[in-house]
Amino acid sequence: LAKTTQPISMDSYEGQEVNITCSHNNIATNDYITWYQQFPSQGPRFIIQGYKTKVTNEVASLFIPADRKSSTLSLPRVSLSDTAVYYCLVGDPRLDTGRRALTFGSGTRLQVQP
């Protein structure tokens, strides 16, 4: 399974754009990149998923360079409610025979200040 590396923590202020980068040097051809958000004492929530280039939805954008060895989650104009832990996962979410489920690392703890 591809190992991911992301910063342990980040600080930001309300209204700023936050970019969280995840490194995954040994990503495999079939792997997708998925980001989750987790608030304290709650289960994680899916944010965005992508394979290459750029993906955008109503809450975030995901930038993936051509070599796919890293990815960047971009949160536009964060608010206090975006304070959470963000997990970068790399793998094939399909559970065909022989494949493993996605692995959550320790994530990036984002603290948004007023």
Q: By CB under 8 A, name the binding residues for other proteins.
A: 32, 34, 41-46, 49, 87, 92-96, 99, 101-107
Reduce the secondary structure of 28-51 to three states and give it as a string: CCCCEEEEEEECCCCCCEEEEEEC
- Which of 41/114 has CB closer to other proteins? 41
CB count, 10 Å around CB of 109? 15
CB of 95 to other proteins, least distance (A): 4
Instruction: Tell the smallest beta-carbon distance from residue 16 to other proteins (Å).
Output: 25
Q: How far is the CB of 77 from other proteins (least distance, A)?
A: 24
